Amino acid sequence: MPNKKVTTSTGHKAPVSGQYRPSGTRREITLTKGETAPPYAGEAKKFTLVDKTKHKR
């Protein structure tokens, strides 16, 4: 099964917790599962998951 990129957009909820990169930038922001993605630099953006949160059990 191919890996599918996890993305969300401004105003939508994050599907998983982790570090997300706003499109067109090199920065990252942290979003938790269910948190609404904010505007970035005053604009609507698409966010791509770059590092999923790891949980120890």
Give the tens place of pLDDT for each residue, 33-42: 999 999 988 8
Enclosing domain of residue 17: 7-52
pLDDT at 56: 78
Asked whether residue 47 is assigned to any structural domain, the reply reads yes
Structurally, how many domains does the chain consist of? Answer: 1
Count of C-beta atoms within a 10 Å radius of residue 14: 21
Asked whether residue 35 is assigned to any structural domain, the reply reads yes
Phi, psi of 49 (to 5 degrees): -65, 125
Neighbour-count burial for 39-54, b at 16+ CB within 10 Å, e otherwise = ebeeeebbbebeeeee
pLDDT at 55: 78
Asked whether residue 22 is assigned to any structural domain, the reply reads yes
pLDDT digits (tens, 9 = 90+) for 4-33: 899 999 999 999 999 999 999 999 999 999
Q: Which pTM value belongs to this model?
A: 0.86
